[in-house]
């Protein structure tokens, strides 16, 4: 009977040891899985926050490692797409800056061409008006050609200035007395 009790106690002890060992191993395995899942969840939180400069490290050959590898590949593709988008934005900003500069230069050129063209047009019209009494058709035709061509120049510069006015402009103080004096000088026959 002592032998049966010892045998029964040994079996119970062995079962308890196996159960405890199984419980300890199960807890270790679950904590390891939970730790791996927490790493992956932390990666998702970084991604959701807009951070693309990271990778989740998960060594081993198991389903979570495969899932982590796919996650890292997705983050890498997003990083590449973001870099490409940033490059396109920079190129578009540079192009817009060049267009603004071109518009400013075109406006300056148009302004510089328009002023002499206006003077030529005004003077040609004055000459035409004075020569109509003299009835010199050859000169009148030449003056009409000068007037038409100068009007074309003025139309072209107005178009350029119209385009340039759509861009942001800067204003400065102007001496109106000087502007009036120059206008009178130009219009005087």
Q: Which two tokens stand for residue 93?
A: 């900003």
In this prediction, residue 83 carries a pLDDT of: 92
Bigger pLDDT: 119 vs 185 = 119
101-126 average pLDDT score: 84
Asked if residue 143 lies in contact with residue 121, where contact means CB atoms within 8 angstroms, the answer is no
In this prediction, residue 172 carries a pLDDT of: 65
Lookup result for tokens 């120049």: 153
SS3 call for 145: helix
Bigger pLDDT: 188 vs 72 = 72
Measured between alpha carbons, how far is 14 from 20 in angstroms, rounded to an integer?
10
Bigger pLDDT: 187 vs 25 = 25
DSSP letters along 76-140, please?
HHHHHHHHHHHHHHHHHHHHHHHHHHHHHHHHHHHHHHHHHHHHHHHHHHHHHHHHTTTT-HHHH
Give the least confident one: 62-76, 106-120, 151-165: 151-165
16-61 pLDDT, tens per residue? 888 888 888 887 777 778 888 888 888 889 988 888 888 888 887 8
125-179 pLDDT, tens per residue? 888 888 877 767 778 888 889 999 998 988 888 887 777 666 555 556 777 777 7
In this prediction, residue 77 carries a pLDDT of: 92
What element of type H or E holds 27?
A: helix 2-48
The residues near 128 (Cβ < 8 Å, ≥ 6 apart) are 140, 143, 144, 147
In this prediction, residue 178 carries a pLDDT of: 78
pLDDT value at 80 more than 90: yes
In this prediction, residue 10 carries a pLDDT of: 84
For residue 69, the Cα-to-chain-centroid distance in whole angstroms is: 32
Bigger pLDDT: 84 vs 134 = 84
């Amino acid at each position: 009977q002592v032998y049966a009790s010892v045998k029964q106690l040994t079996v119970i002890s062995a079962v308890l040891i196996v159960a405890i060992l199984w419980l300890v191993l199960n807890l270790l395995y679950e904590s390891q899985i939970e730790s791996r899942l927490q790493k992956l969840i932390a990666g998702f939180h970084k991604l959701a926050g807009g951070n693309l400069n990271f990778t989740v490290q998960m060594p081993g050959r198991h389903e979570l490692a495969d899932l982590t590898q796919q996650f890292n590949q997705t983050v890498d593709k997003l990083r590449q797409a973001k870099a490409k988008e940033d490059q396109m934005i920079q190129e578009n900003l540079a192009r817009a800056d060049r267009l603004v500069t071109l518009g400013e230069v075109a406006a300056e050129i148009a302004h510089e061409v328009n002023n002499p063209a206006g003077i030529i047009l005004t003077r040609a019209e004055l000459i035409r008006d004075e020569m109509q009494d003299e009835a010199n058709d050859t000169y009148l035709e030449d003056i009409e050609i000068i007037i038409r061509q100068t009007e074309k120049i003025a139309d072209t510069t107005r178009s350029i200035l119209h385009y340039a006015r759509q861009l942001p402009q800067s204003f400065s103080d102007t001496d109106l007395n000087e502007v009036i004096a120059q206008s009178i000088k130009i219009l005087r026959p």
